[in-house]
Structure 1
Amino acid sequence: MKKWLLLLLIVPIAFIACNRKKIPKVERDISITPKNAVTRLELDSLQMERYISGQQLGDSAAQYLRNFYNSRNFQFAWIGEKGLTEQARVFYTLNKDYVNDFRDSTMLDSTLHEKMELLMKQDTVFKKADSSLAGLELQLTRHFFNYVANAYAGKVDPEVLQWHIPRKKLSATALLDSLMASKNTKIDDWEPVNQQYKLLKKELLRYYTLQKKGDWEKISLGKQKRYKTGDTGLTVRMVRQRFLELGDTLLKDSLPEFDETLKTAVKQAQQQFGYRATGNIDAALIKELNVPVQERIEKLLINMERMRWMPAMPAGRRVLVNIPDYQLHVFEDKEIALSMGIVVGKAANKTVIFSNKLRNIVFSPYWNIPASIVRSEVLPAMRRNRNYLRNKNMEQTGTSNGLPQIRQKPGDNNSLGRVKFLFPNSYDIYFHDTPAKSLFAEEKRAFSHGCIRLAQPAKLAEYLLADQKQWTPDNIAKAMKSTKEIWVRLKKPVPVFITYFTAWVDQHGRLNFRDDIYGHDQKMAEQLFLSATKGAAKPVTIAKL
């Protein structure tokens, strides 16, 4: 196991670690008898209580354990008369693969695995459950609950990292019951992870393979600022070679010629890194190709942790924003129906990560200027120029806490443009048009005070109002040129998810990477990773179940 990377179990999820929560008691299911039981091996309630006492389990953790065995009338789950059950063997493989795939030493219980391996290798017949066998059964159940807490719910508390999308809800007991009930468990179907997580996991394993080949050689741009079709040289050869190492299927050799095939590969790579697809080799592309494999692996792990937090996506229509990608997508089930560029908050005014439902569209909106902007920008400008409000098409509507309340009237120069899209939230964030259209030509678009500016707001309005016949494209265009606000309520609210992913697999099956514009990756790395070169280890908190 590599020493440069250890995953720490920082925050066990609530259904395992929270000992203050009152857990409802499940009554013993006496309908399960020796005649209909899967195995005749059963626990003695005193054996379980001695285990709970010996492990010093908290109240809720102990109750989860009691409830699980009450629901099966104390019948063994992991061990039958002939040794480990098929479900236990599935869990053994699942756990072992997780430890290998994620280099996660906290999920490796060597003693437990040795006992399981011994039972798998030898022919065994158990007629009754002695204290040693009962201890192994209970230990396996406890280990399963800990595994679910980390492998599927995530190790880090998202709220600590300013992620306010409601966390995916999991029931370890329900997952265990489903595993026990299935005789031919298909792990891909059983694991409670989304498709994007599975795709990132495949890429993680691919990058581990790359890592085994050693650090790759740095590519130098040389004396030229860029290379285009027809150019030759060492840089061209090394770029071709790097694409081959990364698995590019377009290229067949590492010749030093810049041909049309290489140009196509360069364009594809530029898109995967979030750059304009010029087809020329330049400093930005060389920088991305020189990122060490280790850093890419860490970025994949960070984003897989985020994927663990994501709730199940609702069926039908939804809007998803990815801040580091500067893109908004409208999904219809699994298909992208509409996409557009966006401008997000600058580093000092970060766009918040959260979810809600889009309910209203406001054409020709007023801009009620936030008090913070009035204080820092508008008041100083008013002091310098007595005609500032009139020149900016603004007006004062009152005072609050000693500050004037200022709003900007509808018009071409309104900072919200000609339309805004509202999804109620305490962060005062919404989608809106903008008169500053030139910003969408920039590759990196973090310029706003926190709200999200849209490159094609009229198209979004037309799409969302397609089921309201009176709102034709012509009528929408007229409403966007009004001198008064016009509010329109959607027939059905549309879920909105504002997310932050710096690695993902796109609809073409290509791995994408983006810059960590707000430093969220760095904060997550401090929670997730421990390098042997960075001093003493942080303490590890193990869930008590």
Structure 2
Amino acid sequence: MGMMFVHWRFFDLNLRILAPAIVAVSLILPTAIAAQVTAFRQAVAEAAARDDDLAAFYRDRNFEGIWTGSDEQAQERRNTFLTVLDGTDAHGLPPERYNTSNVMAMLREARTPEQQGKVEVELSRLLLQYARDVQSGILVPGNVDELIKREVAYRDRLETIEEFAAANAGTFLRALPPSSPEYSRLMREKIELEAGLLNGGWGPRVNGRKLELGDSGQAVVALRNRLISMGYLPRTASQTYDEALEMAVRKFQEMHGLEVDGTAGEGTLEQINVSMERRLQSVLVAMERERWINHEKGDRHIWVNLTDFTARIVDNDVVTFQTRSVIGANDADRQSPEFSDVMEFMVINPSWYVPRSIMTKEYLPQLQRNPNAVRHLEITDRRGRVVNRANVDFTQFTRRNFPFSMRQPPSRSNALGLVKFMFPNQYNIYLHDTPAKNLFSRETRAYSHGCIRLNDPFDFAYELLALQEVDPEGFFQAKLGTGRENRVDLEQPVPVHLVYRTAFTDALGNLQFRRDVYGRDARVWQALAREGVAISAVQG
């Protein structure tokens, strides 16, 4: 849509007269002008009455406008804001949501004070809508998926319009979207993918179940051409699976979180054949997710991307430590939730206090069949006393009335391993060690009951302790060597962000993709599509 710059041709609210013909009349008919101003203010009051924040804003300024009039500031506000609305698609926002054609028509047709009052309030309403959308997202995360526990920081609407009225319009509007480097890079990738779609996408799909070094044929040619289009392989005429193609496959695998072996097996080919349209959808979802977390993440913070199966410590936007992770299994009651909190302490040689859901769903049936089952766990009563299993008839209990607790004392076989990292939260989720080290070698690592298991928990602890201990490793090992449960507080608590990104950029700005392990991003995209977000060019 082309941009129309709007110049108001009637009165402004300082009673300056804008047309020479009206000047003479105004000197004779001040009562008529006063009536116009009164009519305008009445129209503003009536239009704003349906919105408590707008009603309060205009009431505080005696129902004077901020958009109407031909003074330079009002013109700048109108034209700057309308230009911004004309570019909402750059942020992956649906232009129809703001109905700019309707507001342009209202501006053109506003001949009376009543019409001008209505368009005044409509512009303010659109400003608040756009500000909320571009700053905090157009979806309510928990309405999309109940395990997206993200608490979005919404800006106060009344403060927003008050600050806009007092600020330079361009400066204010430019500051609304997320300022993170990730958001800017995702916007750039969005533009490139859209251009690629218009040029035909990545070409034909690659057929076959497995292609490897030395192979030749049409499938190899299709793989070669698709990787060239994707930018993983320089242009070549080779029709065999040579070392250059193997290296391109390795790079693709690395950028998509796959096992890096240089062989285009079934899993790799599946990801290579994902369409450019679907990849663009993932980027648009990632932009919406970045708006949900549009606040300071912490100079030092922990970033756990569930789809990437990694946990990172980030200092001033630089990843200073990274380890593989295992996340919750893809069952309805075991998936890891998404939320942010603050890590306050770690526990060395932890006891595992079995969550009630696991205790009653998994262990109670075993105890009912055999009271001596799960002997590695202590059964305790309400006072914390160990219960003699031989004196208990477990068959009399159900999930609802099971009266005991269960605990695994510290040991190397403890389900939590030898250290856990606590950010107390209502979901009972934390990061911890595990004796099941074999799971970290797998490509997809969704096996836990919801908590995040770390492949290198000791090194993770050393990195956290480095800010408060001269010898973090020695300090940790001394506590570990006691065999007793030890709580170590972090002198500087660290924000923790459990996120879910199937599209993200790395430190070099390269776009990476991951599988939608829980199907959440598919649900986010469906919700965005219902709100009007669309991809106009649809090709492979």
TM-score normalised by the chain length of structure 2: 0.79
In structure 1, C-alpha distance between the alignment counterparts of 2:169 and 2:49, rounded to whole Å: 33
Superposed CA offset, 1:278-305 (max 9, x none): 2222222221122222222222222222
Aligned to 1:63: 56
Aligned to 1:220: 206
CA shift for structure 1 position 383: 4.3
Alignment of structure 1 residues 56-135 onto 2, 5 Å: 57-67=50-60, 69=61, 74=64, 76-77=66-67, 79-81=69-71, 85-99=75-89, 102-114=93-105, 130-135=113-118
CA shift for structure 1 position 139: 2.7
User: Any conservation in 1 of the 2:329–2:335 contact (CA below 8 Å)?
Assistant: yes
Identify the structure with bigger relative contact order (alpha carbons < 8 Å, sequence gap 6+).
1
In structure 2, C-alpha distance between the alignment counterparts of 1:258 and 1:433, rounded to whole Å: 41
* Structure 2 unaligned blocks of 5 or more: 2-12, 17-32, 384-400, 533-540
Which residue identity is paired with 1:107?
A: Y
Superposed CA offset, 1:369-413 (max 9, x none): 1122222222333344454344x2x22221594332111111111
Alignment of structure 1 residues 96-495 onto 2, 5 Å: 96-99=86-89, 102-114=93-105, 130-160=113-143, 161-162=145-146, 163-172=148-157, 174-175=159-160, 177-178=163-164, 181-182=167-168, 185=171, 189=175, 191-214=177-200, 217-222=203-208, 225-228=210-213, 230-248=214-232, 250-253=233-236, 255-348=238-331, 349-390=334-375, 392=376, 394-399=377-382, 401-469=401-469, 472-495=472-495
Where 1:382 maps in the other structure, the secondary structure is helix
In structure 1, C-alpha distance between the alignment counterparts of 2:44 and 2:281, rounded to whole Å: 38
1:362/1:179 CA distance change after superposition, 3 Å: same
User: Any conservation in 2 of the 1:318–1:330 contact (CA below 8 Å)?
Assistant: yes
In structure 2, C-alpha distance between the alignment counterparts of 1:202 and 1:484, rounded to whole Å: 52
Percent sequence identity is 28
Alignment of structure 1 residues 18-29 onto 2, 5 Å: none
CA shift for structure 1 position 208: 1.6
Where 1:140 maps in the other structure, the secondary structure is helix
In structure 2, C-alpha distance between the alignment counterparts of 1:158 and 1:234, rounded to whole Å: 45
Where 1:480 maps in the other structure, the secondary structure is helix
In structure 2, C-alpha distance between the alignment counterparts of 1:192 and 1:469, rounded to whole Å: 35
In structure 2, C-alpha distance between the alignment counterparts of 1:278 and 1:441, rounded to whole Å: 13
In structure 1, C-alpha distance between the alignment counterparts of 2:269 and 2:365, rounded to whole Å: 44
In structure 1, C-alpha distance between the alignment counterparts of 2:348 and 2:204, rounded to whole Å: 52
In structure 2, C-alpha distance between the alignment counterparts of 1:511 and 1:467, rounded to whole Å: 32
In structure 2, C-alpha distance between the alignment counterparts of 1:424 and 1:396, rounded to whole Å: 24
Superposed CA offset, 1:266-323 (max 9, x none): 2222122111222222222221122222222222222222111114124421111111
Where 1:85 maps in the other structure, the secondary structure is helix
CA shift for structure 1 position 140: 2.1
CA shift for structure 1 position 203: 1.5
User: Any conservation in 2 of the 1:221–1:282 contact (CA below 8 Å)?
Assistant: no
Superposed CA offset, 1:453-482 (max 9, x none): 011100111111113337631342343344
User: Any conservation in 2 of the 1:263–1:279 contact (CA below 8 Å)?
Assistant: yes
1:436/1:179 CA distance change after superposition, 3 Å: farther
1:179/1:191 CA distance change after superposition, 3 Å: farther
1:371/1:142 CA distance change after superposition, 3 Å: closer
CA shift for structure 1 position 254: 5.2
Which residue identity is paired with 1:317?
A: R
CA shift for structure 1 position 483: 2.9
1:361/1:114 CA distance change after superposition, 3 Å: same
Aligned to 1:19: none
User: Any conservation in 1 of the 2:419–2:457 contact (CA below 8 Å)?
Assistant: yes
In structure 1, C-alpha distance between the alignment counterparts of 2:330 and 2:217, rounded to whole Å: 39
In structure 2, C-alpha distance between the alignment counterparts of 1:235 and 1:292, rounded to whole Å: 17
Aligned to 1:502: 502
CA shift for structure 1 position 186: 8.8
Which residue identity is paired with 2:51?
A: G
1:383/1:53 CA distance change after superposition, 3 Å: same
Aligned to 1:540: none
1:221/1:81 CA distance change after superposition, 3 Å: same
Superposed CA offset, 1:2-59 (max 9, x none): xxxxxxxxxxxxxxxxxxxxxxxxxxxxxx9889xxxxx9994652432442576233
In structure 2, C-alpha distance between the alignment counterparts of 1:241 and 1:186, rounded to whole Å: 46
1:210/1:78 CA distance change after superposition, 3 Å: farther
In structure 2, C-alpha distance between the alignment counterparts of 1:522 and 1:507, rounded to whole Å: 26
User: Any conservation in 2 of the 1:418–1:481 contact (CA below 8 Å)?
Assistant: no
TM-score normalised by the chain length of structure 1: 0.79
In structure 2, C-alpha distance between the alignment counterparts of 1:110 and 1:159, rounded to whole Å: 32
Aligned to 1:7: none
1:191/1:150 CA distance change after superposition, 3 Å: closer
In structure 1, C-alpha distance between the alignment counterparts of 2:475 and 2:222, rounded to whole Å: 55
In structure 1, C-alpha distance between the alignment counterparts of 2:244 and 2:185, rounded to whole Å: 27
Superposed CA offset, 1:478-518 (max 9, x none): 43344321111111111111111221122121112222222
In structure 2, C-alpha distance between the alignment counterparts of 1:406 and 1:186, rounded to whole Å: 56
Which residue identity is paired with 1:468?
A: Q
* Structure 1 unaligned blocks of 5 or more: 2-31, 36-40, 120-125, 533-545
User: Any conservation in 2 of the 1:79–1:137 contact (CA below 8 Å)?
Assistant: no
1:358/1:75 CA distance change after superposition, 3 Å: same
User: Any conservation in 1 of the 2:432–2:457 contact (CA below 8 Å)?
Assistant: yes
Alignment size in residue pairs: 482
CA shift for structure 1 position 146: 1.9
Where 1:149 maps in the other structure, the secondary structure is helix
**Which structure: larger Rg?**
2
User: Any conservation in 2 of the 1:79–1:88 contact (CA below 8 Å)?
Assistant: no
RMSD: 3.4
1:49/1:191 CA distance change after superposition, 3 Å: farther
In structure 2, C-alpha distance between the alignment counterparts of 1:113 and 1:502, rounded to whole Å: 38
1:155/1:269 CA distance change after superposition, 3 Å: same
In structure 2, C-alpha distance between the alignment counterparts of 1:165 and 1:45, rounded to whole Å: 46
User: Any conservation in 1 of the 2:352–2:409 contact (CA below 8 Å)?
Assistant: yes
CA shift for structure 1 position 133: 4.0
